[in-house]
A and B are shown apart, each in its own frame.
Chain A
């Protein structure tokens, strides 16, 4: 789960990391009031959970409260990569002389948290990694020791930081690592960590991503979720314990298991169509869950056919088949064709139940995919 910039920076501040003074506004009038209270030049920053806000015109300077109001009026309601701006952060504008990158993340190959620093701040770290990997200095953290001071100092020296700032930088890096662990983050980054005209370090922009698996033990962080920022169908899926990702194709896929769900998506493309979504209904297939999944799939106007692929194994297919029929009943019938393929205990019985209900059945995954692609083609020609 991604946190907004203002949420991330407030967490950093709790750990003693210096951030600019600032507040969040949801109206231009509020932006003016905040700017007046700050009494300085301000920067008005859209709070949406996508990168590239600056390039999209979602970050602007304002010299006076009047200007802050005008700029906030432009930014609020703006569409940035499909997300509507509903909040802006009004921050005291820093007089930035230099920009550094400092971030902590999981290094999957090493199975360790790694803290990274670079003198090329302000840039996307992945771009730096591609263009000038030697500019990124890394400290690999022992999970039982935590980030040690010498490691943080090594980062400071490695990026050629001014000697008078090494002590402050070290403190910030240690704080960032503590925040990372306490938040169960998968990413915590300060970019840029600015050096201002007075020679102070300041976290001008920040980003925290929380490990979804840890949200249940971090309820105060789970409460920070901004549901406005989710695709509505993905939000509904989450409520039903389904894993759903919307895509652009015509074949709505319902599968048990994430790997098989991806393989099912891929095979629709192999046979010349494309998946409308990723959807993993998990173990079993109770009617309520299947109905929720069907509703979510069918709410997508691009869907021309539904492809259900269940490898039950131990699960009884006659039960799954009845669950599918009950779900179709619950949503008031089907308006697009449905191809079903069930494997597991009592699979013949399951197929018989579904065929009687006039659903297209298949025995193998390639056969199911080919039937779904053909049905989608016919629907498109109607």
Chain B
């Protein structure tokens, strides 16, 4: 009834004893997520928020059968944390950390692809299946269960759209923040493919932004492989070329990666592109 995370998710938190990690662990538990273990090297044997802490991901998986990991460790340790999770047999890794050097991510991506491990992020809010599992830092209470799949490169902009959907009584199957970095684990196509296969998802909202050409490639995928309607929004129509707009990946370089190009490609693929974030909810509502 969703993609990637649900009631069967057994979550491991890497960096559970840090300030961020602990706060969001408590929030996720409160939401109802099954947090089964935490990892902080050197703090194995402790308990925080009612969760046992292990020194290594391998020990944690062996003891608790964790199947999903979320990473809150600082940028300089984050790539290592992803490799450790992959080597310990975790199938779905969610990396919240912002600021990981891109060459680290190039290695991570190649390593995970070769092993068939799925990564969401980095530099993302995580993902949530409303009413079942929250694996991230998003405010859980703005989401309601339903049949709209949401995929986005942004954090707070996604909350804005989800809030507008929920206000209109439109629930979400799963909302996935794929992250704002130039190299990320899963792109729009990876998530669109899952939504297309998910019987609980009836339509999809795609939130993109300037930089790269993932939206254009998503448009091609939508033409060829999607039967479900897609509504989109692209942020950064007023962004100047050559300037990074907060996210490491949000930059128009060499005249490519503009919002106009992306909107054109999506519209050519039959995607309705909203003029502002709230209009997405209006379009989705009209489609019922």
Contacts and interface: CB of A to CB of B under 8 A. Distances in A.
Given A108-B183, A267-B276, A269-B237, A260 B154 contact: yes
Given A108-B213, A265-B239, A259 B106 contact: no
A19 B16 CA distance: 50
Contacts of B183: 106, 108, 111
Interface in B135-174: 137-139, 142, 152-160, 163
B74 to A, nearest CB: 10
Interface stretch (B43-51, B54-62, B194-202, B241-249): B241-249
A267 B27 CA distance: 32
B160 A311 contact: yes
A266 B246 contact: no
Contacts of A211: 101-103, 248
Interface centre among A113, A255, A263 (most CB of B within 10 A): A263
A259 B102 contact: no
A189 interface: no
Contacts of B180: 258-259
B272 interface: no
A261 to B, nearest CB: 6
B219 to A, nearest CB: 13
A243 B243 CA distance: 11
A357 to B, nearest CB: 24
Interface stretch (B4-12, B65-73, B81-89, B204-212): B204-212
A261 B245 contact: yes
B277 A144 contact: no
B91 interface: no
A119 B137 CA distance: 49
A213 B238 contact: no
Interface stretch (A4-12, A39-47, A56-64, A273-281): A273-281
A366 interface: yes
Given A108-B182, A109-B217, A364-B278, A259 B103 contact: no
Given A213-B248, A269-B238, A184 B160 contact: no
Interface string A306-330: 0000011110000000000000000
A173 interface: no
Interface residues of B, number: 61
Contacts of B254: 126, 129
Nearest to A51: B242
A262 B235 contact: yes
A245 B244 CA distance: 8
A108 B212 CA distance: 6
A162 interface: no
B240 A245 contact: yes
Given A263-B276, A267-B276, A245 B106 contact: no
A2 to B, nearest CB: 10
Contact of B212 (A109, A245, A257, A269): A109
A216 B103 contact: no
Contacts of A212: 244, 248
Contact of A313 (B142, B212, B233, B249): B142
B122 to A, nearest CB: 10
A260 B154 CA distance: 8
B99 interface: yes
A50 B60 CA distance: 51
Interface residues of A, number: 53
Given A108-B212, A126-B254, A366-B276, A263 B157 contact: yes
A280 B154 CA distance: 12
A352 interface: no
B225 interface: no
Query: Taking chain A's interface residues, is the majority helix, strand, or loop, or is none over half, making it mixed?
Result: mixed
Contacts of A278: 239, 243, 245-246
Contacts, number: 171
A261 B158 CA distance: 12
Contact of B139 (A106, A186, A314): A314
A217 B103 CA distance: 12
Interface centre among A245, A258, A366 (most CB of B within 10 A): A258
Contacts of A143: 103, 106-107, 110
Contacts of B211: 108
Nearest to B210: A262
A263 B160 contact: yes
Contacts of B160: 260, 263, 311, 343, 365
A134 B159 CA distance: 44
Given A258-B180, A259-B152, A365 B246 contact: no
Given A263-B160, A274-B238, A314-B27, A258 B245 contact: yes
Given A111-B109, A243-B246, A344-B139, A266 B101 contact: no
B106 A113 contact: yes
B269 interface: no
Interface in B175-193: 180, 182-183
A259 B235 contact: yes
A144 B110 contact: yes
Given A213-B75, A278-B246, A280-B246, A262 B209 contact: yes
Interface of A: 106, 108-109, 111-113, 126, 129, 142-144, 181, 184, 186, 211-214, 216-217, 243, 245, 247, 249, 255-263, 265-270, 274-275, 278, 280, 311-314, 343-344, 364-366, 369
28 contacts: A106-B183, A108-B211, A142-B110, A213-B248, A214-B101, A214-B102, A216-B75, A243-B245, A245-B240, A247-B240, A259-B235, A260-B156, A260-B157, A261-B245, A262-B209, A262-B239, A262-B245, A262-B246, A263-B277, A265-B236, A266-B276, A270-B275, A270-B276, A278-B239, A278-B243, A311-B156, A343-B160, A365-B278
Given A108-B211, A213-B100, 18 more contacts: A108-B249, A109-B212, A109-B213, A109-B214, A143-B107, A184-B102, A211-B248, A217-B101, A243-B244, A257-B157, A258-B247, A258-B250, A259-B158, A259-B246, A262-B157, A262-B238, A266-B235, A270-B276
The 5 closest A-B pairs by CB, nearest first: A259-B154, A258-B246, A257-B156, A313-B139, A259-B157
